[in-house]
Structures are given as structure tokens and as C-alpha cells.
Chain A
Amino acid sequence: MATLEVKNLHVSVETDQGTKEILKGVDIVINSGEIHAVMGPNGSGKSTLAYSIAGHPKYTVTKGEILLDGENVLEMSVDERAKAGLFLAMQYPVEIPGVSVSNFLRTAKTAVTGEAPALRTWIKDVREAMGNLKIDSTFSERNVNEGFSGGEKKRHEILQLELLKPRFAILDETDSGLDVDALKIVSEGVNRAHKDNDLGVLMITHYTRILKYIKPDFVHVFVDGKVAEQGGAELADQLEAEGYDRYVKA
């Protein structure tokens, strides 16, 4: 079993108005096979947490630790983190003109496993994963995220999640911009990866909608760069009924 620990994490960014602290001491521990939902109002720092774990250069960790099985994640480069088993499904996947999906997937798989996948099984795996996510086979030859609809981009993120088989996945508002059908397909993909790979999931979301399809073991409510409250799945139901008002006013 693996563990991802976020300890007293403080993160700041440079803005036009100077340095701004966004995360103000976050503590979350995720074990393999656990699903954690991080919920909170806009601007509470949810996405900053996601990008900080993945190592985006825009965010500076000023205090605290991120450990993966005791290893210091903060000392790793972005690609080393991915190789160590961390995966970030992005809220806004970037277009990479000229790089085909098939080339990208194969290059990424080779990078995270350290060797090129056996061609025959790889092609079969990709085809099956695309079929499960109802991604048309012509996507292989399209450029990464170029001209993809919002829903296609999110399904493509989950396709990578299923093929790269990380130990921990951070899903940054993977549910946003999806209609109900696409939400179901994407959720099934996450649930498959969870079940097949004993994946630990940190699911960042603004809404409770996705929690109907992906059942969290733990819910963390994020307000102003900190975890304001934690609980089980029942906390999400309470948020559904009451919204974030009481946290924001407090």
C-alpha cells in the first residue's frame, strides 16, 4: 500500500500585486484505494493544491511537505513525479498541435514505465480503453486536445489515467463542463482505474454532482486555502443541501 501525504502545505504565487499566499497550511493523507473529495467555493485554493502536487512552476511551496511513501515529492521535477506514480487530470488540458494522440500516449507510457510497451498488447490496450470511454478510434491520429470538445478533453484525460496506471490521481474539476452522459462515462473510467489499480484518488470538485457516480470515502471542505471541515460521504450531502455559505460567512 502506498501513501500520499500533504503536510502543512503553504503555497504562494506571484501576481501583479506581489506575492500572494493561496494555500495556508493544508493537511491531507491519502492511502491507496481511498477516494477523497476536496470541495469548496471558487478561489479557495483547490486547483492550487492540485497543481502544487504535480509541480507546476507557477506555484511556490513556502512551507510544508508532500511525501509519497516517505519520499520528498517537492524535490522531484514534474516528470519525476509522474514517474513516481502521480497523475494530474487537468481542468484545462493543453492543446499540443502536431503531436498525435497515439504518439503522445506511447511516449508517455514509455516515459512512466521506463520501457517502450510491447506493440501488440499496447495497441489492444489503447483500443479497449478508448472503447470503454466511447472515444472514437479516429482520435488516435488527431493532435493532442486540438479541436477537442470540453467533454472529449476530459475523456482523453481519463484515457491517460487508465493507460498510464498511476498510484495516485488528482482530478482537477474533471466533472466541470460535462453533460450527464459524459459525466457517467468519465466516472466509470475513474472507478475502473480505482478498482483495477488500487488507485488513490484526490477528486477536486465544485459540485456534488460527480459524487453520485464516484463515491468518496472522505470529504474535505476547502475554504480560504485550508481544510475547514472533514468528514465522510455524508458531508457532501450536507453541502448539497446547504451550500458553502456558512463557511464563507464564518
Chain B
Amino acid sequence: MSDSQKPAQHGLAEHTHGSFVPLQIRSDRPRSKSVSDFEAVSPLQDLWRYLQPEQLKGLDADVLGEYESEVSFGAADGVNVSWIESTDPRVGTIGVPEDKVAAAAYTNASKTLLVEIADNAELSEPFVVNITGSGSQASALHVLVIAKKFSNATLVFEHAGHGVLAEIIEIDVQDEAKLNLVSVQNWDKGSAHVSAHFAKLGRNSYLKHSVASFGGDLIRITPVTTFTGPGAEVEMNGVYFADAGQHIENRPFVDHAAPNCKSRVTYKGALQGNKAHTVWIGDVLIRVVAEGTDTYELNRNLLLTDGARADSVPNLEIETGEIEGAGHASASGRFDDEQLFYLQARGISVDEARRLVVLGFLVDILQRTAVDELVERLTKVLEEKLGSK
């Protein structure tokens, strides 16, 4: 599990492909804001091939409830948070749903939570939005984040409680803005959460996008980053831990539609228990205009027990050869015997070694959120999961 993250030129190193062959190029995927434009969800569709429709607990219905009362937030200088009508012209400019559940969220959320970071604002503390479910009615939530020019902020979306939620988070990172956005999924058992994130990055902007998924029967997140101006950079991180029966699916997509942009995608997960299932589909598209692109995506999974399954498929489409670098790596392995031996040879027991290594494997991704309180709290969640084996 030596984890050298040096970008490798595509085709030269750390290059593995799954058996899956894309039916269409990524940018050709149908999009619509209306749920009625999508066929019923079926495992025969490529987008839903890794799960059964009943796992969605009704999120694929045409009509969903709304989630306004489950959302709470504080106040901070430089941040404007308010509910706006979803008919507001700003809504829907960053992303258009590419699947039925995201379209259901779009269609059914009559209001949108606007989180606006003012021009030049420098937030000293992370701004937290709590989304705490309180029932099993399938519901919709639409969020629009606007990080205005030259702003610098950390935003945390904290999902907890018992919820069945279809969500869209649009993220507008304007020219020269810096945004560190974290979405935590730590739902109670019985919850289902399907979330489509759409980020648009302006000139010389920077987005760090992290998802941490630990609790919930089904968690499916599809973050899309589109570069619209040159010189921008995105770091997309994911950390997840699936227990018996949990399905955690991440489908990050980086659309290099502007020149000289950089993307780094790093997702790491651990699995334990029967029918613990994780799916990672990492897509990167480098368009003709995107000369000077530098991209690398990586997914690693650590299987701690038999009966768990990790699917991992990196896809890279390159339409120009004039790039800095493009690479991807995917590896799913068992807890490494040599690591175990090294730790045991220093007197550390098997259980303690396992704890050290799993935390070691995952905590570095947590740490990338740079939110200390979160790192501490989620490390405890991981420790509880390890202890529950």
C-alpha cells in the first residue's frame, strides 16, 4: 500500500482498467431539470447498475417532500444564508441533473438554500450547515453555494439523523475565490442519501471538495467539477467506511473545459462485514480546449473482512495531447500482511495494529479537510466502527 502519489503519465504507470466500457462519452449524458424526463431507475441503466431501486427508499419517485425544517445554520460575517425561491434565475445555472434522483430533487425543492460568501470575504471559522433528518419520508433539498470573487471560506454540510434525502448542491466558485467545502454523511441506520454536487470553477479559483461518508444504508454522491476559466485548481477528496449491509457510492467527475487547470482526486475507503459495498467511478474528461491540463485521480480501498465488495473504475477521456499530465490509479487490497507484521514485530497486537493502520489509511484524507473539530470527531466515529467488528 505504498502510496506514491506522483502523477504518472497516462498509460505508463499505475494503470488499471475495470471491465466496464463506457457506452457514451461522459459529456453526452442526458440532462434535465425535470424528473419526468427520466425513465424509471433500473439496474440495467449504467448509472444505477450497482444498486437495486428499492435501496433508494423512494427517492426515485416523481413527487418528494421538502427538507427546509431539517436544515439549520448559524451566522457569520461575510456569509449570507437565506432561502430563496427555486425559480430565482441564479438557481440551476451551475448544474443540471444527469439522473432521475437529482432531477427529482430539482423538481420538488420549491425553495433553495442560498449560501453566499461575499466578495473578498475571509472567513476565520468554518461555516456549518446542519442537515438533520427526522423521518423516512423521501424528501428534496436544493443548495446553492456562491463563493464570490477573491473570497476565502470553509463550508461544512453536516448530514445526520434519520433521513431519506435527494439533494443537489450547486457550487459557484467565482474568479480568484478559494473554497473548502466538506460534506459529512453520518446518518443513522435506515437512512438513504443521494446527492448530486455541481461545481463550476472560475479563473484562478481553487476548490477543495471533500466528502466523508460513514453512516446510512445508502449513500450515493456524484460530484461534478467543471473548469470554466483558466488556471483553476480542484482537489476532490473522499473518505468512507462501509459496514455490513451499507452501500456507499461515489462518482466524481472532473470536466477540464478550460486550459491550464489542475485536478487531484483522491478517494479512500475501508470496508468490513457481509455485503458492505462501495463503488467508486472516477471520470475525467480533458476537452480539446484544455491544453496544459494536469490531472491525477486515485482510489484505494481496504477490505478488512470477507464478504465485502469494492468496485472501482477510473475513466479518462483525453481529447488533446497538449497536456501536462494525466494519470489514474485504483487499488483495492486487504489489510497488508507486511504492515501487520512490522507492527506486530514491535509488540503491537493484531487488533491494535488493525486500528492503527485503518485510521492511518483514512485519517490523512480527513485531515485534508483542515477542520480540526471535524477530524477529531470523525476519527472517533471511525474508531467506534472499528470496535464494532
Report which A residues bind B (CB closer than 8 A).
54-57, 77-79, 81-83, 87-88, 90, 93-99, 103-104, 107-108, 111-112, 143, 146, 160, 164
Q: Nearest Cβ in chain B — how far from A82, in angstroms? A: 4
In the complex, A104 Cα to B357 Cα: how many Å?
10
A111 contacts B342, CB within 8 Å?
A: no
CB within 8 A of A79: which of B338, B348, B356, B359? B348
For A78, give the chain B residue with the smallest CB separation.
Answer: B344
Contact B348 A111 (CB under 8 A): yes
Stretch at the interface among B119-127, B149-157, B307-315, B361-369: B361-369
Contacts of A112 in B (CB 8 A): 346-347
The 8 closest A-B pairs by CB, nearest first: A98-B360, A111-B347, A78-B344, A82-B347, A112-B347, A108-B346, A99-B360, A94-B342
CB distance from A160 to the nearest CB of B (A): 7
When C-beta atoms are compared, the residue in chain B nearest to A100 turns out to be B360
Give Cα A77–Cα B337 distance, bound, in whole angstroms: 14
Is A103 a contact partner of B342 (Cβ separation < 8 A)? no
Given contacts A83-B347, A99-B360, A143-B360, contact A111 B341 (CB under 8 A): no
Nearest CB in chain A to that of B340: its residue: A78
Chain A CB within 8 A of B88 CB: no
Contact A94 B339 (CB under 8 A): yes
A193 to B98, CA, bound (A): 64
A79-B349 in contact (CB<8A): yes
CB neighbours of B2 from chain A (8 A): 95, 97, 146
Is the beta-carbon distance between B339 and A98 smaller than 8 angstroms?
no
In the bound complex, residues from chain B placing their C-beta under 8 Å from that of A160 are 346
Q: Give CA–CA (A54, B339) in the complex, Å.
A: 14
Chain A residues lying within 8 Å of B1, measured Cβ to Cβ, are: 95, 97
For B341, the chain A residues whose CB sits under 8 A away are 54, 56-57, 78, 94
Residue of A whose beta carbon sits closest to that of B362: A98
Residues of B within 8 A of A108 (CB): 343, 346-348
The smallest C-beta distance from B275 to any residue of chain A, in angstroms, reads 27
Q: Which of A56, A97, A164 contacts B360 (CB 8 A)?
A: A97
B308-343 interface code vs A (CB 8 A; 1 in, 0 out): 000000000000000000000000000011110111
B39 at the interface (CB under 8 A from A): no
| Residue of B341, B357, B361 with most partner-chain A CB within 10 A | B341
Which residue of the partner chain, among B338, B344, B356, B363, contacts A82 with CB atoms under 8 Å?
B344
Beyond A79-B346, A97-B2, A111-B349, 14 additional pairs, beta carbon < 8 A: A54-B341, A55-B344, A55-B345, A79-B344, A82-B347, A87-B345, A93-B342, A96-B356, A98-B361, A99-B356, A108-B343, A111-B346, A143-B360, A146-B2
21 A-B residue pairings within 8 Å (CB atoms): A55-B345, A56-B341, A78-B341, A79-B347, A82-B344, A87-B345, A88-B345, A90-B342, A96-B360, A97-B3, A97-B361, A98-B361, A98-B362, A98-B363, A104-B346, A111-B346, A111-B348, A111-B349, A112-B346, A143-B360, A164-B347
Interface residues on chain B, size class = 20 to 34
Task: Determine the distance from Cα of A90 to Cα of B341 in the docked complex, in whole angstroms.
Answer: 11
Residues of A within 8 A of B343 (CB): 96, 104, 108
- Closest chain A CB from B4 CB (angstroms): 9
* CB-defined contacts of A56 to chain B, threshold 8 Å: 341
- In the complex, chain A residues whose CB is within 8 Å of the CB of B344: 55, 77-79, 82
Q: A104 contacts which chain B residues (CB < 8 A)?
A: 343, 346, 356
- Establish whether residues B342 and A96, one from each chain, have CB atoms under 8 Å apart when the complex forms: yes
Contacts of A57 in B (CB 8 A): 337, 341
Q: Which residues of A contact B364 (CB under 8 A)?
A: 97-98, 143
CA distance A104 to B342 in the complex (A): 11
| Interface residue B37 (Cβ < 8 Å from any Cβ of A) | no
- B361 nearest in chain A by CB position: A98
What chain B residues lie within 8 Å of A107 (beta carbons)? 348, 352, 356
| B345 and A78 contact, CB distance less than 8 A | yes
- Indicate whether B350 reaches chain A with its CB closer than 8 angstroms: yes
Chain A: minimal CB distance from B366 (Å): 10
Residues of B within 8 A of A99 (CB): 356-357, 359-360
A94 to B344, CA, bound (A): 12
Q: Which residue of A lies closest to B348 (CB)?
A: A111
* CA of A16 to CA of B294, assembled, Å: 41
In the complex, A88→B345 CA distance in Å?
Answer: 7
Complex CA–CA separation, A54 to B341 (angstroms):
9
Contact of A103 among B3, B339, B345, B356 (CB under 8 A): B356
In the complex, the chain A residue whose C-beta lies closest to that of B336 is A94
Kindly provide the distance from the CB of B298 to the nearest chain A CB, expressed in whole angstroms.
12
Min CB distance A197 to B, Å, is 16
**Binary A-proximity of B1-39 (CB < 8 A = 1, otherwise 0):** 111000000000000000000000000000000000000
CB distance from B352 to the nearest CB of A (A): 7
* Residues in A whose Cβ lies below 8 Å from that of B338: 94
Task: Return the chain A residue nearest B4 by Cβ.
Answer: A147
**CB-nearest residue of chain A to B337:** A57
- Assembly CA distance A164 to B345 (angstroms): 11
Min CB–CB distance A84 → chain B (angstroms): 9
Q: What CA separation (Å) do A238 and B308 show in the bound complex? A: 58
A140 to chain B, nearest CB (A): 15
Q: Please give, as numbers and ranges, the residues of chain B lying within 8 Å of A103 by CB-CB distance.
A: 356
For B341, B345, B364, which residue has the most chain A Cβ atoms within 10 angstroms?
B345
Chain B residues in 8 Å Cβ range of A83? 347
User: Which of chain A's residues have a CB closer than 8 A to the CB of B349?
Assistant: 79, 111
Q: How far is the CA of A81 from the CA of B344 in the complex (A)?
A: 9
The residue among A78, A81, A104 with the most chain B CB atoms within 10 A of its own CB is A78
**CB-CB nearest in chain B for A88:** B345
Report A-chain residues with C-beta under 8 Å of the C-beta of B3: 95, 97, 146
* B357 engages A79 (CB within 8 Å): no
- Most A CB contacts (10 A, CB to CB) among B338, B347, B348, B364 go to B347
Rounded to whole Å, the gap between the CB of A83 and the closest CB of chain B is 5
Report the separation of the CA atoms of residues A59 and B349 in the bound assembly, to the nearest whole angstrom. Answer: 20
